[in-house]
Amino acid sequence: MKFLTPDVIWNSLREVGSTVLFIIAGTVLLEVLAYFLWSPLGVFSQAVDQLLKPLGDRVRSLLAGLAVVAAVVLVVAMVSPGQEPSPLAPYWPVAAVLFLIGLFISPSATVIFGWRLRLPYMLLMPALVGLLLLVVYPLLWELNVSFTNLNPRHFKSPDFIGLKNYVEVFTKPVLKQVMFFPVFLRTILWTVINVVFHVSGGMALALLLNRKMRLRGLYRTLLIFPWAIPQPIACLAWRGEFHYEYGFVNIMLQRVGLEPIQWMSNPTWNFVAMCITNIWLGIPFMMVIILGGLQSIAGEYYEAAEIDGASAWQQFRHVTLPLLRPVLTPAVILGTVWTFTNFNVPFFINQNELETSDTLVTALFRSAFQYFNLGDAAAFAFVIFAILLAFSIVYIRVTGGLKGATE
Amino acid sequence: MKKNVFTLLAALSVLAMILAACAKPTPETVVVTQVVTEREEVPVEVTRQVEVEVPVEATPEPVEIVLWTKEGEADGGLQYVQSLADAYTAIHPNVTFEIVNKDVETLREDFLTAGLAGSMPDLLWTVNDHAGPFTDAGLIMPVDDLFDLSQYVDAALAAAQLNGQTWGVPISNGNHLMLLYNKDLIETPPMDTDELVQMGQDLTTGDQYGLVYNQTEPFWLVPWLGGFGGAVFAEDGKTPTLNTQPMIDALQFLYDIKYTTPIVPAECDYDAADTLFKEGKAAMIINGDWSLGGYKDALGDKLGVARIPQVVGHEWPHPYTSGVYLMLPISLEGAKLEAVVDFVNFVTSANNQALMIAKLNRLPALKAALDDPLIANDPILKGSADQMVVGTPMPTVSEMRCNWDAMKPEMQAVLAGDKSPEDAAAAMQEAAETCIANLD
């Protein structure tokens, strides 16, 4: 048992404090470096630019791209997925040089290292380094792992097996028996069911709450509760309620004279249980968003519609819905992505680890951290990544979601 | 203005570095502590030489041992582990413990993850079949040279041996399933499966059940597989033989006692079975020796122990036997390794083995502790020992992992009424083979 003595407190403070100070010192050092290096680099890039002018921008872009890609490939090969360092690791300066060559022969080098962008780059530098260490490096490591057979039998020195893992995602069971496409389709089904119920349920509650009545604030508070409970806790509580013997749901079913349901071992009912839990969890968010949208619709529209003799349904169809669209579209997209990648509900409700209840993300988790087929799982993860990337691109194209940022 | 900004930045960075340097312990301090350790641990003749370098300071280096145990709180196991750790700290104040309880499966998963991340705990208190994946991954060390293994029961050692080496020090011998019954509801336990079904049907009324067991884990399936004359591996010990008549029969039997002649609850995991039995709402339970302590507390003299009933026309069911083991992560070295080795000897000392028999009702792994009069006189321990006679050692090879993973969903599918035993057995075999092919 550890006690919170002044000594322990002091030591923890010292550890945390020194880490924070190191980060601050590193950041400052980076800023100073960037500040001082930018001018000489600018001069250098001008010189390179003069030298390479005859090549033309197209050729230079192509060469620069090739050099950067070569540097990235080299880095991927250098990152060892096992415990022993990769034999290529000592060649990291080659990768660095390749990257710098790529950077400087690119026609945009003079812009990047120009005086005008010095301060912006200086300010971006810490974030850039942080992203490189925390996002790019793990991603490259993962990519490397996906080409190997990293698993408990090959824990320290996995072998390179090329694209075999990627082929096997589609040709072999991703878990014990279930193949990729059934899981994929189930995930889509799960997403559609949930989002439909979230939106319709949220809309119904929001319409009910969006009028003058007593205790409106109290109702709103009560209805928002599911959203305020941490998901894993809510899931575990729900799992308890689906217990065959002692769960609330089965007890109520028996009271009204129905047969109790095997929520945990029957695949269909387990999926239903997952959906019930997630619908309960997701409605409040939609309700809040839609309520906000409803309150921003000016009352004049409804007055005008009433004067024109529109029924309640017509008002809803032709006034409320169109004016809600700007709020509803991003909410639906968000809800779709969140439900697609929801881990807590399918994982915790599925107590018996039925493969028939796994969605893509829980299947990925089991493959990696329960069966420890890390190589297979890495390839599987990139396939899921590709699916989400495709979805995001289509979404951004359709809605022009990034227009404000890029133009 | 620019100059001012720069001065500020430079001043900040210098300040930060100074503070950071203050915050980190200086290299000298580290050296001193190391020397002190050596003084504590090395043989006498070197001590004199070290003493010249280090003035006074007699406190040994503090060691904190992070121990992961599969023992849970419900049956008193975790409390027992904690009491051992406290007792050890009382004798050696420089050694403190952080006891972490993890489910058996979680312990395996987390330890592999920790191994990959390179930050492992210092000692594992777990079951034998973890030795398979852990040695595959090269995460635990052989214990042959660290302990005098001749003092332990051979059967317990055998379940932790792989590739000619021993990978764990046994704490208890058994870990086997048996039939436990409530004497209020049953006078004499059933001897064969016909009797079991007969008595079970009489006892299943309203919210009371004849028999409960964990229907979600194949650990509860393998005794019956053995009872019908099957085994999960062929002679070579690593080729799965799951698509066999005995497996189909065993699955059919479990299906029958749930649907055809119902004597078990429709849905029942470990906790539900445990609760039903403790509340007296189940006449019989199939559970392991680890649960004996908890049931003794809950039921007292009403608890009876017997063999799992013989399969009519076949054999006694063969529950898997192994034991609980202490495994040493490969990362241990220096003072920590010595402290861990000493603690392991402490845990398996004759005194503490006797304490374990009394507290947890488990059979000891230490030969010297087998003569304990408690075992011969206690009906519960006698019953447990009697069940062990027909047990079979649980395989340690990592192929076993594939068998468990393959059996689990199929067993559940049969019990949910989704699959016929024939289809399930075939699917098990296929899944196990795929998994084993993936191991390499």
String of DSSP letters for B50-111: HHHHS-S--PPPPEEEEEEE---TTTTHHHHHHHHHHHHHHH-TTEEEEEEE--HHHHHHHH
CB contact under 8 A, B272 and A245: yes
Compute the nearest-CA separation of A369 from chain B (Å).
6
**Of the given ranges (A73-82, A150-159, B24-33, B257-266), which has the lowest mean pLDDT?**
B24-33
Provide the whole-model pTM. Answer: 0.77
| Mean pLDDT to the nearest integer, A199-213 | 90
Asked if pLDDT for residue A402 goes beyond 60, the answer is no
Nearest CB among A21, A22, A155 relative to B138 is that of: A155
The nearest alpha carbon in chain A to B118 belongs to A83
CATH fold, domain B63-174+322-392, is D-Maltodextrin-Binding Protein; domain 2 (3.40.190)
What are the tens digits of pLDDT across the range A341-399?
899 999 999 888 888 889 999 999 988 888 888 889 999 999 999 988 888 788 777 76
CB contact under 8 A, B269 and A264: yes
What residues of A are in contact with residue B16 (Cβ under 8 Å)? 21-22, 24-25, 28
pLDDT of residue B323: 85
Nearest CB among A21, A267, A369 relative to B113 is that of: A369
Which mean pLDDT values do the consecutive 10-residue runs of chain B (440 residues) have?
51 49 39 37 38 48 91 86 93 91 89 86 92 89 90 85 89 90 91 92 88 93 93 88 94 93 88 91 92 87 92 92 91 90 92 88 84 81 85 86 88 89 93 83
Q: What angle do CA B213, B216, B217 make, to 5 degrees?
A: 85
The nearest alpha carbon in chain B to A168 belongs to B438
Q: CA–CA separation, B286 vs B279, rounded Å?
A: 15
How many other C-beta atoms are found inside a 10 Å radius of the C-beta of residue B73? 11
pLDDT of residue A403: 54
| Mean pLDDT to the nearest integer, A156-162 | 82
What does residue A297 show for φ and ψ, rounded to 5 degrees? -85, 120
Compute the nearest-CA separation of B98 from chain A (Å).
7
CB contact under 8 A, A264 and B267: yes
pLDDT of residue A248: 92
CB contact under 8 A, A2 and B96: yes
Considering chain A, what percentage of its residues have pLDDT values greater than 90?
31
Q: Of the candidates A265, A262, A261, A275, which has an alpha carbon nearest to the alpha carbon of residue A186?
A: A275
CB contact under 8 A, B116 and A155: yes
Site from A21, A175, A239 to mutate, B interface, most B CB atoms within 10 angstroms: A21
pLDDT of residue B366: 87
CB A140, CB A69: distance < 8 Å: no
DSSP per position, B305-367: EEPPPBPTTS-----EEEEEEEE-BTT--HHHHHHHHHHHHHHTSHHHHHHHHHHH--EESBG
Q: CA–CA separation, A363 vs A377, rounded Å?
A: 9
CB contact under 8 A, A352 and B405: no
pLDDT of residue B22: 45
Residue recorded with tokens 């070290």: B50
Contacts of A210 (CB under 8 A, 6+ apart): A291, A294, A295
What residues of B are in contact with residue A24 (Cβ under 8 Å)? 12, 16
| Mean pLDDT to the nearest integer, A267-295 | 92
pLDDT of residue B59: 63
DSSP per position, A293-322: HHHTS-HHHHHHHHHTT--HHHHIIIIIHH
Q: Where are the alpha helices (DSSP H) in A210-298?
A: 216-228, 231-241, 248-255, 267-295
Q: CA–CA separation, B279 vs B298, rounded Å?
A: 8
CB B111, CB B139: distance < 8 Å: yes
Q: CA–CA separation, B308 vs B254, rounded Å?
A: 14
CB B406, CB A173: distance < 8 Å: no
Site from B5, B207, B259, B412 to mutate, A interface, most A CB atoms within 10 angstroms: B412
Inter-chain contacts counted by CB atoms under 8 A, chains A and B: 124
CB contact under 8 A, A354 and B406: no
Q: CA–CA separation, A41 vs A104, rounded Å?
A: 9
Residue recorded with tokens 């689990």: B408
What residues of B are in contact with residue A15 (Cβ under 8 Å)? 23
Q: CA–CA separation, B387 vs B375, rounded Å?
A: 14
Can you tell me whether residue A175 is helix, strand or coil?
coil
Average pLDDT, chain A: 87
Return residue ranges of chain B for CATH 3.40.190.10: 63-174+322-392, 177-318+398-439
What are the tens digits of pLDDT across the range A15-67?
999 999 999 999 899 888 888 888 888 888 888 888 888 888 888 889 999 99
Compute the nearest-CA separation of A18 from chain B (Å).
5
What residues of A are in contact with residue B415 (Cβ under 8 Å)? 265
CB contact under 8 A, B16 and A176: no
What does residue B126 show for φ and ψ, rounded to 5 degrees? -150, -175
Which architecture does CATH list for B177-318+398-439? 3-Layer(aba) Sandwich (3.40)
The nearest alpha carbon in chain B to A266 belongs to B416
What are the tens digits of pLDDT across the range A176-191?
778 899 999 999 999 9
Choose between B427 and A117: higher pLDDT: B427
The model's confidence at residue A1, banded by pLDDT at 50, 70 and 90, is very low
Question: Which pair of structure tokens corresponds to residue A206?
Answer: 């929001």
How many helices (H) and strands (E) are present in chain A, helices listed first? 19, 0
Q: DSSP state, A401?
A: T
What residues of B are in contact with residue A354 (Cβ under 8 Å)? 409, 412
Residue recorded with tokens 């850039």: A128
3-state helix, strand, coil in chain B (%, to 5): 55, 15, 30
- 3-state SS, B224-253, equals HHHHCCCCCECCCCCCECCCCHHHHHHHHH
What does residue B366 show for φ and ψ, rounded to 5 degrees? -85, 125
CB contact under 8 A, B265 and A244: yes
- The domain spans of chain A are 6-145, 176-370
What does residue B118 show for φ and ψ, rounded to 5 degrees? 80, 20
Q: CA–CA separation, A13 vs A17, rounded Å?
A: 6
What residues of A are in contact with residue B137 (Cβ under 8 Å)? 152-153, 155-156
pLDDT of residue B34: 37
CB contact under 8 A, A32 and B13: yes
Asked if pLDDT for residue A114 goes beyond 90, the answer is no
Q: What are the CB-based long-range contacts (under 8 Å, 24+) for B340-346?
A: B340/B65, B340/B122, B340/B123, B341/B146, B341/B147, B342/B92, B343/B65, B343/B88, B343/B95, B343/B123, B344/B123, B344/B147, B344/B169, B345/B147, B346/B84, B346/B88
CB contact under 8 A, B133 and A354: no
What's domain A176-370's superfamily in CATH? MetI-like (1.10.3720.10)
CB contact under 8 A, B17 and A25: yes
CB contact under 8 A, B269 and A21: no
Site from B2, B66, B116 to mutate, A interface, most A CB atoms within 10 angstroms: B116
Q: CA A123, A125, A126, A128 torsion: positive or negative? A: positive
Question: Which pair of structure tokens corresponds to residue A308?
Answer: 């024109």
Q: Of the candidates B157, B169, B219, B208, which has an alpha carbon nearest to the alpha carbon of residue B186?
A: B208
Question: Which pair of structure tokens corresponds to residue B16?
Answer: 């930060």
Residue recorded with tokens 């229907």: B215
Q: CA–CA separation, B212 vs B291, rounded Å?
A: 14
Site from A167, A172, A241, A265 to mutate, B interface, most B CB atoms within 10 angstroms: A265
| Mean pLDDT to the nearest integer, A242-255 | 90
* Cα dihedral B150→B152→B153→B156 (10° resolution): -110
What are the tens digits of pLDDT across the range A287-332?
999 999 998 888 889 899 989 888 888 988 888 888 888 888 888 8
The nearest alpha carbon in chain A to B266 belongs to A262
Residue A23 burial by Cβ neighbours in a 10 Å radius (0-12, 13-18, 19+)? middle
